[in-house]
Structure 1
């Protein structure tokens, strides 16, 4: 299977783009922006990932909870020599605002974008705020494809130059509707997605089926979402609150029996990285508030350090 980018996608020195072009096993991790004006903790966590991941995802109002702008946080990471993937959700901006931020990202050198619809307002900490949803993720992907071709949302030329954004989409291989999953993946592929990051994977047989029957012919890399479970209680919370995810009872009991549940969670995540390595082209690591443990997960999984980008 070829994972090469479309020939018309402009080249970039970005390490993540180079790794896709070279068909490397891709490693990304997620870091949340601060809830306030001080980015010190975010930068401290992100710095621990230098040399271990190809890029770091910066969330955009995940779960509809207020945090610093993903674009601003991405620029701060970039200033520290870390390559960001700037998540961009449709919930809080109309088509004008999305285009403005995407052109701003281009000018600031933030060229990796994950296009998302966004979580519903009622799930977060500002339930009376107004949603926008002028677009959703597929239409946002199409919009970015237009900007990369030098056109705006209304197909008018951009007089000051096209963008050169590398854009990805989110997928959920554990979606209950197989036909819906296939249709959504194909629509995102057609709209211009160059890579895919999955939601938390708990069913690796389902991931294998997705790769074999849906994603294999796409030629685009799929990164499996690996989540650090900190305790049996954490796993049970996910089962109750994350649609489509079911942490197995065996895993919950394993965490319950462990003398050190957090260390056992690190070991489980490492084993899942090894499983994913046999099935797809990368992993996307999520270790909420314990990003410092991601290098340990990768070490236990036998994943070597990431080489620096070439000029």
Structure 2
């Protein structure tokens, strides 16, 4: 299962779909919706998010297990440094490993002070590099304290993230290099909204890989795509989310469409998003599609 995904990442087209578990004791309705729309036949794998924006959700590792069991396709489970120290991280990885949850997206995590849970405190024992180091240790058959494990884990495939935009692009290259040096094999970008931005990210990835070649390490870049169908979404991403650049022309077109009504706004936003997706796929067919569980939009984008 995972060998096929990694081979597609390195040598073929590769499309994964993000899923966000809900504020619920069950994840099955989300899986049912994916099956109803036939999305499992249109992607190579999935990801599960880990309490994004520090809001309480169904556990990402259990969600990954359920998705894999239903569709027999690999799932990249997110793990956040916000909520676990190195003991809990390793314990979760060991438990997940026996259930074949073995692709892990290492995130530092959103700050706990924006949580919906009163007085929640972040752990943040380190940034996501610590989790990548733990995974490297596990793949060598030992824990982070260099103690051999009684039974070595099955191989774990580590992924990481990077912003899609920075005023100084060299900062993005340095961040990519750091993640590659710590073992990431796939680096997923924040949403990209401009083809030239994507070309620049690919060049930065090549430079980062060259800088790590002496260590025999490299990673593939996976372009993040988040369709925008509302003006307010474009404005929010542009103004309040660091590391994302929504072109002014997108906002202008959506503003004009917004004045004509909801249907026109959706039509213009979808057309912009679909055109971008097709262009990115032609440029670099390794894409992670994010729709905040709006799976109908995901299907329209993928067909």
What range describes the TM-score normalised by the shorter chain of this pair? 0.7 to 0.9
Distance apart, 1:14 and its partner CA: 4.8
Inter-CA distance 275–123: structure 2 relative to 1 (3 Å threshold): farther
Tell me the TM-score normalized by structure 1. Answer: 0.86
Distance apart, 1:217 and its partner CA: 6.4
Query: In structure 1, what is the equivalent of residue 25 of structure 2?
Result: 37
Does 1:175 find its partner at 2:148? no
Does 1:17 find its partner at 2:21? no
Does 1:152 find its partner at 2:124? no
- After superposition, the C-alpha distances for 1:222-242 in whole angstroms (9 at most, x for unaligned) are 111111112112211222221
Native 8 Å contact 2:188 2:224 kept in 1: yes
Query: In structure 2, what is the equivalent of residue 286 of structure 1?
Result: 290
- After superposition, the C-alpha distances for 1:253-280 in whole angstroms (9 at most, x for unaligned) are 3223444322333322221122223443
Query: In structure 2, what is the equivalent of residue 256 of structure 1?
Result: 255
Following TM superposition, the consecutive aligned residue runs of length 4 or more in structure 1 with deviations greater than 6 angstroms are none
Tell me the TM-score normalized by structure 2. Answer: 0.88
Aligned residues: 287
Query: In structure 1, what is the equivalent of residue 215 of structure 2?
Result: none
- After superposition, the C-alpha distances for 1:121-157 in whole angstroms (9 at most, x for unaligned) are 1223126211111131112111101101101011111
Q: SS of 2:41's equivalent? A: coil
Query: In structure 1, what is the equivalent of residue 260 of structure 2?
Result: none
Residue number among 98, 112, 137 corresponding to 2:103 in the alignment: 112
Residue number among 156, 170, 187 corresponding to 1:165 in the alignment: 156
Distance apart, 1:214 and its partner CA: 3.5
Q: Quick one: distance in 2 between partners of 1:157 and 1:32? A: 35
**Which structure 1 segments of 5+ residues have no match?**
1-11, 300-311
Residue number among 112, 123, 130 corresponding to 1:121 in the alignment: 112
Q: Quick one: distance in 1 between partners of 2:246 and 2:17? A: 21
Query: In structure 1, what is the equivalent of residue 275 of structure 2?
Result: 271
Inter-CA distance 184–80: structure 2 relative to 1 (3 Å threshold): same
Q: Quick one: distance in 1 between partners of 2:150 and 2:293? A: 43
Residue number among 43, 46, 52 corresponding to 2:42 in the alignment: 52
Q: Quick one: distance in 2 between partners of 1:41 and 1:176? A: 41
Native 8 Å contact 2:173 2:207 kept in 1: no
**Which structure 2 segments of 5+ residues have no match?**
210-217, 258-262
Inter-CA distance 123–37: structure 2 relative to 1 (3 Å threshold): same
Query: In structure 2, what is the equivalent of residue 246 of structure 1?
Result: 245
Q: Quick one: distance in 2 between partners of 1:18 and 1:209? A: 24
Q: Quick one: distance in 1 between partners of 2:92 and 2:173? A: 30
Q: CA RMSD in A?
A: 1.9
Higher relative contact order structure (alpha carbons within 8 Å, sequence separation ≥ 6) = 1
